[in-house]
Structure 1
Amino acid sequence: MKATREGGQGPLGARLRALLVAIVPVVLASCGGGSDSASGQSAATQGSDGADTSSKSLTLAALPGETASATVLPSFYLAPVALAAPGNADAKSTGASALKAPASQAIGDAMASVSSARLTPQAIAAYAAAAPAAGTGSTVVTTYTPAQIRAAYGLPALPTSWTGLSATQAAQMGAGQTIYIVDAMSDPNAAAELAAFSQTFGLPACTTTAISPSTPLPLPAASTTGCQFSVVYSTSAGGRTSTPPAYDSGWATEIALDVQWVHATAPLARIVLIEAPDASIGSLLGAVNLANAMGPGIVSMSFGATEGSWTASVDSAFSSTNMSYVAATGDSGSGVEWPSVSKGVLGVGGTHLTYSGTTRSETVWSGTGGGISQYTSAPAYQTSAVPGLGTLSRRSVADVAFNADPYSGQYLAVIAPGSSSVSWHSAGGTSLATPQWAGLLAIANAVRAQSGQGVLGLAQNFLYSGVSTRPSLYASVFSDITQGSDGTCSTCAAHVGYDQPSGLGTPNVTSLLTAATTSTQTQAPVVTPITVNGQAGSPLSFSVAVTAPHAVTWSLANAPQGMTIGTSGTISWPKPVAGTYTVNVTATDSTTRLSGSAAVTVIVVAPVAPTVDTAAVAGQTGRALQYQVSAHAPNPVTFSMSGAPSGMSIGASTGLITWTAPVAGSYRITVTATDTKTGLSGSGVLTVQVTTATKGPVISVAPINGVAGTAVSGVVGISDASASDITVNIRGVPAGMTLQPSGQGILLNWANPVAGTYTLVFTAIDSNNLSAQANLVVTISAR
């Protein structure tokens, strides 16, 4: 999918990228209660009663239909045995099992031959019922409790009481942070399983909190005193619905595993489980987009699909501000999977853990994924300065690792549909390692917040550049896995330093958290240069983007008289004067006092006659045609047209062309816009081609509501299975709103919305010259 800016750029290829050359950052609110699709031409009106509007342009790559519908597999393993209940020692005394040896249970010979890959509790029961009773039981499964895993990896010990915690203690449990678990299908017993797991192991109970399809986005900040658990059903376009997906025993097992071990790692973090309607790549991307709209937080993805040439086209889904993304590297041995291969995703591999209650040792788990990508270029953080990494031209995964062998597994509570009984299992797979790294990042962010620091965001910058390139710090923060392999290739074996099966290694969490809050890395603010266009006499307002670790202050140099910059980086000029100006914008870090500057070019032109965009309009017989004419003028205009076929009309004040019963054929229509103040006029020709009904772009929108001054966001889904790319044009964007491509959708954010009602007109034209229009209504009420 691709998009062009009004009056500007043409197709930009298959990559997903944003043009965002119209610099009026502005953002939206909630996705509302569902998604409405629009195909063909639809009506559009201008925003009103609030902020100024502008046109935005985004470029989106069209995900091939066969790829979007490809099935993704969860990455869990279960040892082929139903475990004895773990006992209640931790329930009686929190963390009682921490320094004890883990439980062991023998498996009969017949069951030991059963593959653990995506083995469900139902399948275990069926195999056990059919297995002969005879057997030596020489195979042993070792299973760890949450307290033992915390002790083995050096996580902060669980408190003896969950009431009266200090802010520091709560932060060490992940308080105030949100972890988004993205999975497919449904586990109707996820909350009950979490409750049983928490009660057994002395973890805090989570309050179940509803997030309805109409809840405004982004979500409010997470609680700093208790755990919240929510389940959200996503649509394939990244919206929300009240209808749960179908049950699937495999994905239900994955969901239970993800939820329980995120909670075991970060017990006070908010957990938002996002269930995609199916296990396709397109639907899971929609769920990630929904997490981005809900953010900030950590996105945990315990699934994978074989990488391909398409993976770069959806990388923007893993680039939202203040978000971190974690994914499993896979459980089929050496190999590269998406989404862990994305540069914006922390790829998590697996180990076999041995912990006696006092010491920990690990080897590579033979099933873990890892390797060199065939398609993704090497990211900036993977340099030859990292021990063992060498010089790369392509992305290498894994980045890090954690326990993943189901035979050195971790307890999992499962309740079958229609039952209230809990069965216990020894879980593994890189899907076990992934949610625990998500929990670690949440804890790191919470601890950083206690010292006034921002979130880690792209954690690889810290883990590679900030840790692994410093030998003593690397040795302290990571346990370097040097034994074991995940295949027979020359790079499949673990060795000193970075290796593909285990990445940088497994965490020594005490040192990791210390390093995360005391790293000496400093970065000067980076200001993005921009070019802005305006008209003399018409107020001009735009925002400047900056990347900085802390809050910044702003200043201008060489600014024309009357131009000012606000504390948020918004530049205002109430009465622009014609001319071209180069203004130097400086952002100064309030903590480090480092500064960065960039040139902003402001081009102001004298008033001109209105212009009307020419366009090729596609219609279909048997379907009412509507098209919003785009005119550019400093003042309101009236519209008229000539050469129109019988039955076609245009709104004099709106410029909306309607034709209730289009007739097949080709038509040339001249549309004239007249400035109501100056009397100047301009015309443009529309070529209307009416054909028989065919498929074309589909735009999924939902009304958005918010409150003035409170940040809002939303997602617009755009798809077209029959096209190679799609051009998207957006009009009526309120001042201050930003739009960016996110996978197969457009993410809208408005940091400081202004009261009013706005209608954004989305026009999509695909490579087959078929088009669609849809209106997104944004209602911002006064405080």
Structure 2
Amino acid sequence: MAGIASSIAGLLAGGAIALNSAGAAVIAAPAVHLDAAAAQHYREACPPASPGHYSCNALVRTDLKPQLARPDATRNAAVPGYGPSELQSAYGLAAAAASAGSSGRTVAIVDAYDDPNAESDLAVYRKQFGLPACTAAGGCFSKVGQNGQTSQLPAPAPANNDWTGEESLDVDMVSAICPNCRILLVEANSASDTDLGTAVNAAVQLGAKYVSNSYGGPESPRETTEDTQYYNHPGVAITASSGDSGFGVEYPAASQYVTAVGGTALNRANNARGWSESVWSTSPSEGAGSGCSAFDPKPSWQSDKGCAKRTVADVAAVADPATGVASYDTFNGNGGWNVEGGTSVAAPIIAAVYALAGTPAVGAIPAAYPYAHAAALNDVTSGATASCSPGYLCTAGLGYDGPTGLGTPNGTSAFTGGGATGTGGTGGAGGAGTGASGREVTISNTGLISGTPTS
């Protein structure tokens, strides 16, 4: 019996067995672990942003041949890329993901153009990894246009501007982190800033308290106006990917009202956590976006001294395509199972973590929450995307840094408005550490500190 128990424990740790929302064991097809050294080839899922338009921040591995789901509708023996059990393990989310407490919470995904296969592709992903079904008929999945309409959806994504890989990636990542959440896919008519911004407003009007935006483009003076028009939604956690071009800032990640999400390389490690992370940087022009906004003002909860305006990012999650995630997409000849990276992976992961953490307080800007609970994050302290001054804007270190912000999820407590228990937060080179040392210390959005720190 001891040997059987040991074997089951090993399978649970490796992701071959998972627990569903009812606590029952299900067999989950494992992911194939990638050789990071061999992952040198990938393509951008979307073309570069043109004036007044955004580009999705997804990267697709091209050194791995896509594979379709088995025609008999059973699971593939294995698929490449990290799956739900691995992502939940890396970020300390397995217990929260298995809980029924997140049932009924809606995470909205905002993308451009229609993906006609979104629901059927999502079904393949969820079945492969033993997740509960998420269908329109069951009330779990819904797809609407940019004004919230369920009919007359946008035209399907054209082959030369194919956002369907992005859409599949986004709904798959929400599924991986919050299997019991509802998913609302809001499709804009185009990749223009006005259409995508209108879709964000529709997501909030339809009741979503968590909205993911895996796109961005160059900053412009009009962004402070667009802040007010599209992204200022108190009481709603809005995430935006920081970009895939290394040191430099994109919008809407630069918005003072969103949680800007940077990127890491995520690897298995022989340590207490079982994982290690470093700044994602493939080359000087490819890696996690970061830096100082040229236009957006610094929010009150951000205190680093190297930027007079908004600093990007706030937090981070896996983004390196060399340590990428599994995603399933069949439209426009995308072939089925792919491995994807980019900060487009990280933004929906963080949106789903907010959903696991609970409904944001009325009137709150949830981007402030991690700054009150920095000690409850995995601090990323190695790696860089460039050489810059001050160095923390592009180089990881203790406490806050640009490419990974305050760090990556370690459970959900850093994404709530309530008190957190931790061992302390440390300011980085920019002096942005706002974590409180000690136990049961809370910092409100206005900076009021309550509790008794031990140091």
Q: Is the 8 Å Cα contact of residues 263 and 319 (structure 2) preserved in structure 1?
A: yes
Equivalent residue in structure 2 for 1:416, among 331, 346, 367 = 331
Equivalent residue in structure 2 for 1:206, among 124, 134, 142 = 134
Correspondence 1:439 to 2:352:
yes
Q: Is the 8 Å Cα contact of residues 80 and 338 (structure 2) preserved in structure 1?
A: no
- Which residue in 2 is equivalent to 1:287? 199
Q: Is the 8 Å Cα contact of residues 382 and 392 (structure 1) preserved in structure 2?
A: no
Indicate how the Cα distance of structure 1 residues 263 and 310 shifts in structure 2: closer, same or farther if over 3 A, else same: same
Q: Is the 8 Å Cα contact of residues 357 and 412 (structure 2) preserved in structure 1?
A: no
Indicate how the Cα distance of structure 1 residues 515 and 102 shifts in structure 2: closer, same or farther if over 3 A, else same: farther
Number of residue-to-residue matches in the alignment:
374
Ranges in structure 2 where 5+ consecutive residues have no aligned partner: 1-13, 47-57, 67-78, 282-286, 421-439, 447-455
Equivalent residue in structure 2 for 1:116, among 39, 43, 47 = 43
Indicate how the Cα distance of structure 1 residues 158 and 145 shifts in structure 2: closer, same or farther if over 3 A, else same: farther
Equivalent residue in structure 2 for 1:242, among 135, 152, 166 = 152
Equivalent residue in structure 1 for 2:88, among 133, 147, 150 = 150
Indicate how the Cα distance of structure 1 residues 312 and 332 shifts in structure 2: closer, same or farther if over 3 A, else same: same
- Which residue in 1 is equivalent to 2:8? none
- SS class of match (2:336): strand
Equivalent residue in structure 1 for 2:405, among 481, 503, 509 = 503
* Deviation by residue 1:140-163 (Cα, 9 ceiling, x = unmatched): x9721210111111003488xx8x
Give the C-alpha shift of residue 488 in structure 1.
Answer: 2.4
Cα distance in 2 for residues equivalent to 1:418 and 1:126: 15
Task: In structure 1, give the amino acid aligned to 2:383.
Answer: G
- Which residue in 2 is equivalent to 1:488? 387
Correspondence 1:360 to 2:283:
no
Ranges in structure 1 where 5+ consecutive residues have no aligned partner: 1-86, 129-140, 163-168, 210-225, 384-388, 449-453, 469-473, 527-783
Q: Is the 8 Å Cα contact of residues 351 and 405 (structure 1) preserved in structure 2?
A: yes
Mapping of residues 336-347 of structure 1, within 5 Å: 336-347=249-260
Mapping of residues 632-781 of structure 1, within 5 Å: none
Equivalent residue in structure 2 for 1:404, among 306, 319, 341 = 319
Equivalent residue in structure 2 for 1:311, among 180, 204, 223 = 223
Indicate how the Cα distance of structure 1 residues 499 and 418 shifts in structure 2: closer, same or farther if over 3 A, else same: closer
Give the C-alpha shift of residue 400 in structure 1.
Answer: 0.3
Correspondence 1:322 to 2:221:
no
Cα distance in 2 for residues equivalent to 1:276 and 1:101: 32
- SS class of match (1:369): strand
* Deviation by residue 1:719-778 (Cα, 9 ceiling, x = unmatched): xxxxxxxxxxxxxxxxxxxxxxxxxxxxxxxxxxxxxxxxxxxxxxxxxxxxxxxxxxxx
Q: Is the 8 Å Cα contact of residues 112 and 196 (structure 2) preserved in structure 1?
A: yes
* Deviation by residue 1:346-382 (Cα, 9 ceiling, x = unmatched): 0000000012586111100011101001111211000
Equivalent residue in structure 2 for 1:374, among 294, 317, 322 = 294
Give the C-alpha shift of residue 510 in structure 1.
Answer: 5.4
Equivalent residue in structure 2 for 1:176, among 104, 116, 131 = 104
- Which residue in 1 is equivalent to 2:262? 349
Indicate how the Cα distance of structure 1 residues 334 and 513 shifts in structure 2: closer, same or farther if over 3 A, else same: closer
Higher helix share: 2
**Larger Rg belongs to:** 1
Cα distance in 2 for residues equivalent to 1:116 and 1:417: 15
Cα distance in 2 for residues equivalent to 1:507 and 1:416: 32
Equivalent residue in structure 2 for 1:331, among 238, 244, 251 = 244
Equivalent residue in structure 1 for 2:33, among 73, 79, 103 = 103
* Deviation by residue 1:98-127 (Cα, 9 ceiling, x = unmatched): 9x996236998xxx6544332899994999
Higher strand share: 1
Indicate how the Cα distance of structure 1 residues 400 and 96 shifts in structure 2: closer, same or farther if over 3 A, else same: farther
Give the C-alpha shift of residue 397 in structure 1.
Answer: 0.3
- Which residue in 2 is equivalent to 1:653? none
- Which residue in 2 is equivalent to 1:299? 211
- Which residue in 2 is equivalent to 1:467? 373
Q: Is the 8 Å Cα contact of residues 238 and 257 (structure 2) preserved in structure 1?
A: yes
Cα distance in 2 for residues equivalent to 1:207 and 1:364: 36
Cα distance in 2 for residues equivalent to 1:456 and 1:509: 24
- Which residue in 2 is equivalent to 1:17? none
Give the C-alpha shift of residue 489 in structure 1.
Answer: 1.9
Cα distance in 2 for residues equivalent to 1:431 and 1:380: 26
Cα distance in 2 for residues equivalent to 1:339 and 1:203: 32
- Which residue in 1 is equivalent to 2:116? 188
Q: Is the 8 Å Cα contact of residues 84 and 129 (structure 2) preserved in structure 1?
A: yes
Task: In structure 2, give the amino acid aligned to 1:483.
Answer: S
Percent of aligned pairs with the same amino acid: 37
TM-score, normalization: structure 2? 0.73
Q: Is the 8 Å Cα contact of residues 299 and 324 (structure 1) preserved in structure 2?
A: yes
Q: Is the 8 Å Cα contact of residues 334 and 371 (structure 1) preserved in structure 2?
A: yes
Cα distance in 2 for residues equivalent to 1:126 and 1:467: 39
Task: In structure 2, give the amino acid aligned to 1:248.
Answer: P
- Which residue in 2 is equivalent to 1:430? 343
- Which residue in 2 is equivalent to 1:667? none
Task: In structure 2, give the amino acid aligned to 1:193.
Answer: D
Q: Is the 8 Å Cα contact of residues 290 and 403 (structure 2) preserved in structure 1?
A: yes
Cα distance in 2 for residues equivalent to 1:308 and 1:290: 24
Task: In structure 1, give the amino acid aligned to 2:329.
Answer: V
Indicate how the Cα distance of structure 1 residues 101 and 457 shifts in structure 2: closer, same or farther if over 3 A, else same: same
* Deviation by residue 1:617-659 (Cα, 9 ceiling, x = unmatched): xxxxxxxxxxxxxxxxxxxxxxxxxxxxxxxxxxxxxxxxxxx
* Deviation by residue 1:262-321 (Cα, 9 ceiling, x = unmatched): 111111111110000111111111111211221241110000011111100111222224
Correspondence 1:258 to 2:178:
no
